[in-house]
A and B are shown apart, each in its own frame.
Chain A
Amino acid sequence: MSAPKKDDAKALLKGVKKRNVRAIARMISLAEAAKPESRDVLAEIYRLAGRAHVIGLTGVPGSGKSTLVKALADAIRVSGRTVGIVAIDPSSPFSGGAILGDRIRMTDLTGDDGVFIRSMATRGAMGGLARASLEAVDVLDAAGFDIILIETVGVGQDEVDIVQAAHTVVVVSAPGLGDEVQAIKAGILEIADIHVVSKCDRSDANATIADIRGMLTLGIRMPKDHGLVHGKEEFEDKPPAADGEWRVEVVATSAETGDGIGELLDTLDAHAKHLNDTGGMEQRRRDIIEMRVIKTAEDIIRRDFKANHDKLAGLMNELMARTIDPHQAAATLLATFKYKEGKYKDGCED
């Protein structure tokens, strides 16, 4: 395993194509650092990506996502395929730092070049999914990993973001977490293509499974095309298993005994096949790309506002005196940034 030079973008790109671990790791760091000089090579990565089946896993903290990801990765390897994992944990809103602990449950996966695990912090991203996380998915995709698992932070409303980042969305629930069904009621039910009830070796698992199955058959209004595309919330009143539509599955798993893991992988493969057969994959790819464009634009604007903090400070007197309102201030600042195609004024060069 030779290591390409740290800033040699071409060598890194070559390394990524050959699935060199060091090169992949560095490329993801480039995406995370978001320096203007690495845009070209990341654009090349984007061109290379688009082959992998991207699966998002979400669920409340403690529902067993990391453990499930580990078990699933094992099963994917046994099936002869490779797997990249992006495990996301929250950044502290105060210090900006993060403790990334998902690897604690994924350690037996090391020593195998067919598995690549990267932990990432949310870095204060809206919706819990950083732009860089999606670029990391691209890097793993370009490196030729067959399946990519994104493990989300899974807190509060954040999980909704994953809908627009993955081809298949898995919602993980566990027995004994008490307000599980409440969480499902709050909206997480609609985003799942597959529900997993983890820890099903526990005696109270059946109640959780029954709860979710029950909710799914209650004639819940399903989103039409994966839904939730910035305000375009089209719902139709159809039972979940109507003709040609994906029937949302509930899979009970136990990483402890290995029960249900194979079934889950089969269901994931079936969902990918369903998407490919029905044109759903094309639609999801579109949705993902659209969302990424918007997220990237948000990133650029947020950076520019930070980098031009003095301009905002200059408006503060008027704002405090309430002679202008925040909307006018924002519009004034946006006008000064003069965004141009191809060379936006990036305020963060270092």
Chain B
Amino acid sequence: MNDKTKVIRVLLAKVGLDGHDRGVKVVARSLRDAGMDVVYTGLHRTPAEVVQAAIQEDVDILGVSLLSGAHMGIIPVILKLLKEAGAEDIAVVVGGVMPDEDAVELKKLGVAEILFQDTPPEKIVSTLRQIAASRGAG
């Protein structure tokens, strides 16, 4: 453990009817090995559950893994709930599979980064570090 930097806290969530959690577990492991605290919510959560958990856990980054194609339905709701709770400083990162134009749209809505399924673990770690640093953590 490094005392000189705050440990980056990340909440990883699977939202909605999406049972594919191999990817999110690999990500969780990679982030842990990079020295981060990773809270994992498990499968089939609702946007409200995920947002409340992110706030209680005071995470720097909320990572949502979506392979179900429901990203355009779910992510905007999460962003809205965060805003309503005054927690829009928690960065939302989306991981998984989606059309390129949806990624552009989600970024416009306020998603900090989209990490597609072929992103190498090192890239995921460095991206999250950058995002956390730009928000005053890490």
Residues on A facing B (Cβ under 8 Å): 1-3, 6, 21-22, 24-26, 28-29, 32-33, 91-92, 94-101, 103-105, 107, 110-111, 116-119, 121, 123-124, 303, 306-307, 348, 350
Contacts and interface: CB of A to CB of B under 8 A. Distances in A.
Contacts of A350: 4-5
Interface of B: 1-7, 9, 28-29, 31-42, 45, 48-49, 52-53, 55-58, 84-87, 89, 136
A98 B33 contact: no
Contacts of B1: 91, 96, 123-124
B61 to A, nearest CB: 14
Nearest to A97: B32
B87 to A, nearest CB: 6
A110 B45 CA distance: 10
Contacts of A104: 40-42
B56 A107 contact: no
A3 B45 CA distance: 24
Contacts of B87: 3, 22
Contact of A25 (B2, B33, B57, B89): B57
B56 A98 contact: no
B38 A98 contact: yes
A233 B57 CA distance: 38
Given A95-B32, A107-B45, A121 B37 contact: yes
Contacts of A94: 33
Contacts of B34: 95, 97
Given A22-B86, A99-B28, A117-B53, A92 B33 contact: yes
